[in-house]
Amino acid sequence: MTFNEFNFKDTLNQAIKEAGFTEPSPIQEKAIPLILEGHDLIAQAQTGTGKTAAFGLPVIQQMSGNRGIEALVIVPTRELAMQVSDELYRFGKIAGIKTATVYGGTPYNKQIERIKQANIIVATPGRLQDLLMSKRIELNPSFVILDEADEMLDMGFLDEIKNIFTFLPKERQTLMFSATMPKPIKSLAEQILENPKSVTITKKERTNRDIKQIFYVVAEYERDDALLRLIDYKNPNKCIIFCRMKKEVDRLSSYMTAQGFKVASLHGDMEQKQREHTIRAFKNGLVDIFIATDVAARGLDVNDVTHVFNYHIPFDSESYVHRIGRTGRAGNKGEAITLVSPNELRTIKRIEKDVGTVMVSDVIPTRQEVKVRKDNDLLLKIANTKITPSAKEMVKMLQHDLDIVTIAHLLATLVQEEIDVKGKDIIGLRAKELKALIEREKKWKGGKLNDSQRRGRNRRRTQEHKRRSKGSQDRRNRRSRSSNR
Ligand code: ADP
Ligand code: MG
């Protein structure tokens, strides 16, 4: 399917083309036609599935652009407000649609000025409620969108949301987007939506096929070594390492920094300013490795993350999906790598089942293997290097005292020292051990039997017992018969 089938106006088609979108994502394919038909909508899809365009495009299509605020988008955080408004600005700019962002912590006057000139506002609940209740602004939008509704619930914004809706016109099209649908969100939907259509992106569609999911089995004490070796081997462009706790984020950040990486960390107690600063540094490539907790990385949207590492496997499946979704975005390929100890194989199985995905096991490359890989890369690099005049000059100088082969050996030694591979040769389980462990795990099945399994076992035991005692009876009979003979 292509975007042409939606029959958008030319200005919008041009913007889609400029954004580099070639085909609609699953949520866009399902949601856009319903929104164009004028339905209220409740849509469930994970982050990174393209929800912004799913509502942004059909809403902008239906806007006139000359009637003040026509669309209101409510999002949980200031960061998301900026992201969503950037994306909407991209779609609307050719059609002359103006976007304003509304969030707390900035002066009122400037914000109100911008709101007066805008056609779409993207707002966080707190500041929006403020503005409405103090009558600093009045809104009459035809479209109201609640983005990341479940996150607003988590952040305790439910009352604000309900209050905001008392200020909005009854005659409107309302769209609600959420990654999950907890009860309070369902009942909110009943209050604010009218005969809504609903779309859900199923589990299969949800886990991105562009993400390769691999796990490595290591001993508890080998996690740091394993991480280093894998980063060394896979040579990520940008990567995120997920930890369970802030404490671990701090420790691992110091460790990786000491190993010579440019590291930034993100956790829940950081101030908003600091957070934004850190994320920007990561986006701009000033840091190579981002270390974060789940909570801190919510809504993190960086397109060119090549690898996600789970230092520990997360406890719940939702978090797993959310974490690995930080890579493989916007049509790029990505790898999600999980380190587990042998007894965590069960968690892998559970997540695979919950999420409807497959993680493949692999063996951590030995020091020797990484060395060979790096040597090959180096050979290729040498073959592709252009000789500079100053290099010629240097070789000429060296030739006063040394023959050309010795010079070559010395230079090769120097560049090879740069690519030294650290750590012990073998880390984690080898192929044979891994296979044995997976086999054992398959047989074991959790150690506890369910009721029907237990009844089956008892039945088998009883029959076995009967058969045995019957057998011995028969034998006794036979013996006595034979002795009678
Ligand atoms: P969500 O709100 O579901 O988390 P976003 O709307 O932020 O997802 O989209 C995630 C990324 O994917 C953005 O960078 C966006 O520009 C890009 N994107 C969205 N739709 C498409 C598409 N149809 N083709 C290519 N990239 C897309
Ligand atoms: Mg979004």
Cα diameter, the chain: 116
Per-residue pLDDT of the chain (485 residues; tens, 9 = 90+): 789 999 999 999 999 998 888 888 889 999 999 999 999 999 998 777 889 999 999 999 999 888 899 999 999 988 889 989 999 999 999 999 999 999 988 889 999 999 999 999 999 999 999 999 999 999 999 999 999 998 898 888 999 999 999 999 999 999 999 988 888 999 999 999 999 999 988 655 455 667 899 999 999 999 999 999 999 999 898 999 999 888 999 999 999 999 989 999 988 777 778 888 888 888 888 898 999 988 777 767 787 889 999 999 988 888 898 888 888 876 678 999 999 999 899 899 888 888 878 899 999 999 999 988 888 888 988 989 999 999 999 999 999 999 999 999 999 998 888 777 888 889 999 888 988 888 887 776 545 555 555 565 566 656 656 655 555 555 445 544 444 43
Q: What is the pLDDT of residue 321?
A: 86
CA-nearest of 318, 328, 309, 295 to 242 is 309
375 to 363, 383, 404, 464: CA distances (angstroms): 20, 12, 21, 64
291 to 111, 301, 339, 399: CA distances (angstroms): 34, 15, 15, 48
Q: Is the CB of 328 under 6 A from ligand 1?
A: no
CA 440 – CA 422 distance, rounded (Å) = 33
What angle do helix axes 78-92 and 51-61 make, rounded to 10 degrees? 50
CA-nearest of 327, 375, 384, 321 to 353 is 321
Instruction: For residue 56, give the ligand 1 atom closest to its CA.
Output: 6
Query: By the 8 A CB rule, do 115 and 333 touch?
Result: no
Domain ranges of the chain: 3-201, 211-364, 367-416
Instruction: For residue 47, give the ligand 1 atom closest to its CA.
Output: 4
The CA angle 67-68-70, to the nearest 5 degrees, is 80
Query: By the 8 A CB rule, do 145 and 76 touch?
Result: no
441 to 347, 411, 453: CA distances (angstroms): 11, 51, 18
Residue 111: half-sphere exposure toward Cβ, Cα within 13 Å: 18
Encoding tokens for residue 171?
Answer: 């005659």
CATH number of 211-364: 3.40.50.300
Query: Residue 362 class from Cβ within 10 Å (0-12 exposed, 13-18 middle, 19+ buried)?
Result: middle
Q: How far apart are the first and last CA of the chain?
A: 89
Candidate from 5, 8, 13, 25 with most ligand 1 atoms within 8 A of CB, to mutate: 25
Q: Is the CB of 47 under 6 A from ligand 1?
A: yes
| CA-nearest residue, atom 27 of ligand 1 | 330
| CA-nearest residue, atom 26 of ligand 1 | 330
Instruction: For residue 45, give the ligand 1 atom closest to its CA.
Output: 3
CA-nearest of 240, 229, 286 to 266 is 240
CA 23 – CA 377 distance, rounded (Å) = 36
**Do the two domains 3-201 and 211-364 of this chain adopt the same fold?**
yes
CA-nearest of 299, 293, 326 to 312 is 293
Q: What is the pLDDT of residue 482?
A: 43
Give every CB contact of residue 73 below 8 A, 6+ residues apart in sequence.
55, 84, 85, 88, 120, 121, 122, 123, 145, 147
Distance 52 CA to ligand 1 centre (A): 7
| CA-nearest residue, atom 12 of ligand 1 | 330
Instruction: For residue 28, give the ligand 1 atom closest to its CA.
Output: 23
380 to 101, 365, 376, 400, 419: CA distances (angstroms): 49, 21, 6, 29, 14
Q: What is the pLDDT of residue 464?
A: 56
Distance 325 CA to ligand 2 centre (A): 12
Distance 175 CA to ligand 2 centre (A): 13
Q: Is the CB of 55 under 6 A from ligand 1?
A: no
Distance 362 CA to ligand 1 centre (A): 31
Q: What is the 3-state secondary structure (H, E, C) of 126-191?
A: HHHHHHHHCCCCCCCCCEEEECCHHHHHHCCCHHHHHHHHCCCCCCCEEEEEECCCCHHHHHHHHH
- Superfamily of the domain at 3-201: P-loop containing nucleotide triphosphate hydrolases (3.40.50.300)
| CA-nearest residue, atom 10 of ligand 1 | 48
Q: Is the CB of 6 under 6 A from ligand 1?
A: no
Candidate from 3, 22, 49 with most ligand 1 atoms within 8 A of CB, to mutate: 49
Distance 45 CA to ligand 2 centre (A): 10
CA 217 – CA 19 distance, rounded (Å) = 41
Q: What is the pLDDT of residue 458?
A: 62
What angle do helix axes 158-165 and 183-192 make, rounded to 10 degrees? 10
Distance 335 CA to ligand 1 centre (A): 18
Give the number of the ligand closest to the Cα of residue 24.
Answer: 1
Query: Residue 464 class from Cβ within 10 Å (0-12 exposed, 13-18 middle, 19+ buried)?
Result: exposed
Candidate from 4, 52, 326 with most ligand 1 atoms within 8 A of CB, to mutate: 52
CA 25 – CA 50 distance, rounded (Å) = 7
Classify the C-alpha dihedral 248-254-260-263 as positive or negative.
Answer: positive
Distance 478 CA to ligand 1 centre (A): 81
Query: By the 8 A CB rule, do 11 and 94 touch?
Result: yes
